[in-house]
Amino acid sequence: MKTKVFDQKWKEAGQADLNDAVFKIEINEDLVHRALVYQLANARLNIAHTKTRGERRGSTRKIYRQKGTGRARMGSNRSPIRKKGGVAFGPRNTTNFSISMNKKERQRALFSVLSAKVKNKELLILDDIKLKAIKTKDMADVFASLPYEKTALLALPEKNEILEKSAANLPKIKTIQVSYLNIADLLKFKTLVLLKSSLEKVNAFAK
């Protein structure tokens, strides 16, 4: 499948090939959803942690005798029903929220999202972006000339400090290396912008 390639001034600069195995497959929404849940669950930081009655500081002595006081029987001062006591059934940082998903399924989900970008005309291919120095205004001028909608994800073939830092302060633009393309970012950002050299690496995903 052929697609047009543009320069950073949005002028046509040739054509490029899109790998049909990556950009023209049947879109599987269920698989995409599962891949998104997989990614978010595995990135979850387990921070919340409460102490049980055995972890609270304090004496384990029985507060008062079992019978004859007219009050409800009571054990130690660290009981969950006492002030400053332990917590019953609270969150623990030992909980494992990670889930598993087959590698081929994750890859298929990624290809589904990329195919949806092509189908919805949310994929832009640029020949290259050349900036002389790190400057937010220059990067803003590049994206001001592109017909992207709302937000854009710029996928770079490799680490590029000038482009990455120039886009860092643009709230609707995010840069990412092609090897780190993921479901969450592709769904969050409306338009995917690929450099021609980035496209070559994405086409190779299906090999």
pLDDT digits (tens, 9 = 90+) for 174-202: 999 999 999 999 999 999 999 999 999 99
Question: Taking the domain 2-44+98-206, which CATH number applies?
Answer: 3.40.1370.10
* pTM, two decimal places: 0.85
Cα separation, 18 vs 122, in Å, equals: 14
Q: Counting beta carbons within 10 angstroms of the beta carbon of residue 56, is it exposed (0 to 12), middle (13 to 18) or buried (19 or more)?
A: middle
Residue 207: what pLDDT? 74
Contacts of 16 (CB under 8 A, 6+ apart): 2, 3, 4, 5, 125, 196, 199
The ranges assigned to domains in the chain are 2-44+98-206, 47-96
